[in-house]
Chain A
Amino acid sequence: MKAIVKIGLKPGVLDPQGRTIARSLDHMGFEGVANARQGKIIELDLKSKDKAEALKQVEEMSRKLLANTVIEDYEIEIIEQN
């Protein structure tokens, strides 16, 4: 079982790195980028064989460590592997 946790800043929280990326794309001639937000992806290899249980675990991991919920949101994707 694999979990992919996508972490990004909450809407409304200023993201100076994202803003700089958008500006740089504009400088390079890529038009039409209104906004960019930077985040991170954490991949976890899990021992669990049960999808629901895995999701519950990763949910707790995200809340307690992977994301800082004061400023960040997270999204979890569980991928079953054979």
Chain B
Amino acid sequence: MQSAVIVFPASNCDRDAATALERVTGRRPLMVWHEETSLPRVDFVVIPGGFSYGDYLRSGAIAARSPIVKDIKRKAEGGLPVAGFCNGFQILTEAGLLPGALMRNTGLRFVCRPQTLAIVNPQTMFTRAYKDKAEITVPIAHFDGNYYADAETLNRLKKQGQIVFKYKGNPNGSLEDIAGIVNEQGNVLGMMPHPERAVDPVHGGTDGIALFKSVMEALR
């Protein structure tokens, strides 16, 4: 599986994502600068965490309007698997690839700690390799992770199984404890937690590995 990691000014988990992808897939991902207008031929795209454009205007707002995101949007609509972690999730909602928005944490604090998540939908192309595992622990590190969507959108997410991960013990005020969702087609995932930072025992856990393995299995 050939993957790509998108790099924006002030992305800071791009190398973590690249390391995780290389470790799990055995192939070094392509690093794609945000000013590129088209993606190289790849099977999977990761939009990494960080503080793209210094969180100016709103987290992810400026990055979501960059040239490469236009092409990501087009290809995601055609079925290309895309995952955004943390700032990547914010960028995907700002770009309209995922519904809802990520607002300031209700506690008005940056939260940074290992977080237990419930796997709500184990059937997605991002969770299938977790098998019978109901819970995983991966790090969170964000200020704007408070997921919001209007009641109608929330109902649709629930009905269509688009809620993938929920927090056990809500760290940020997120509606319905939502930590991660997929689009209707199921090929675009956004989540605030960082699976790419849980792929080696020295990270304190390896619960992130199966997420990347899931994508590999799904593409096989």
Which residues of A come within 8 Å of B, CB atoms? 13-14, 16-17, 20, 64-66, 68, 70-71
The answer, among B61, B105, B150, for a CB contact under 8 Å with A68, is B61
Cβ A71 vs Cβ B108 within 8 A: no
Cβ B61 vs Cβ A65 within 8 A: yes
Q: Tell me the chain B residues, 107-134 only, with Cβ under 8 Å from chain A.
A: 107-108
- Most chain B beta-carbon neighbours within 10 Å: one of A65, A70, A71: A70
Contacts of A70 in B (CB 8 A): 93, 99-101, 148-150
Pairs A–B under 8 Å by Cβ, sample size 24 = A13-B103, A14-B103, A16-B104, A16-B105, A16-B106, A16-B107, A16-B108, A16-B173, A17-B104, A17-B108, A20-B108, A65-B57, A65-B61, A66-B57, A68-B58, A68-B94, A68-B101, A70-B99, A70-B101, A70-B148, A70-B149, A70-B150, A71-B103, A71-B148
Nearest-CB distance from B90 to chain A (Å)? Answer: 10
Chain B residue nearest to A42 in the complex (CB): B57
Which residues of B come within 8 Å of A, CB atoms? 57-58, 61, 65, 93-94, 99-101, 103-108, 146, 148-150, 173
The answer, among B100, B101, B107, B173, for a CB contact under 8 Å with A14, is B173
Contacts of A17 in B (CB 8 A): 104, 108
Contacts of B105 in A (CB 8 A): 16
A70 to B101, CA, bound (A): 7
Nearest-CB distance from A4 to chain B (Å)? Answer: 16
The answer, among A13, A20, A65, A71, for a CB contact under 8 Å with B65, is A65
Contacts of A13 in B (CB 8 A): 103, 148
Identify the 8 closest CB pairs spanning chains A and B, nearest first. A70-B101, A16-B106, A71-B101, A68-B101, A16-B108, A68-B58, A71-B148, A16-B104
Nearest-CB distance from B105 to chain A (Å)? Answer: 8
Cβ B106 vs Cβ A14 within 8 A: yes
Nearest-CB distance from A16 to chain B (Å)? Answer: 5
Chain A residue nearest to B151 in the complex (CB): A12
Contacts of B57 in A (CB 8 A): 65-66
Given contacts A16-B107, A65-B57, A66-B57, 12 further A-B contacts (CB under 8 A): A13-B103, A13-B148, A14-B103, A14-B148, A14-B173, A16-B105, A17-B108, A68-B58, A68-B94, A68-B101, A70-B100, A71-B103
Contacts of A68 in B (CB 8 A): 58, 61, 94, 101
- Most chain A beta-carbon neighbours within 10 Å: one of B58, B61, B149, B150: B58
Chain B residue nearest to A13 in the complex (CB): B148
A14 to B148, CA, bound (A): 9
Contacts of B107 in A (CB 8 A): 16
Contacts of A64 in B (CB 8 A): 65
Chain A residue nearest to B62 in the complex (CB): A65
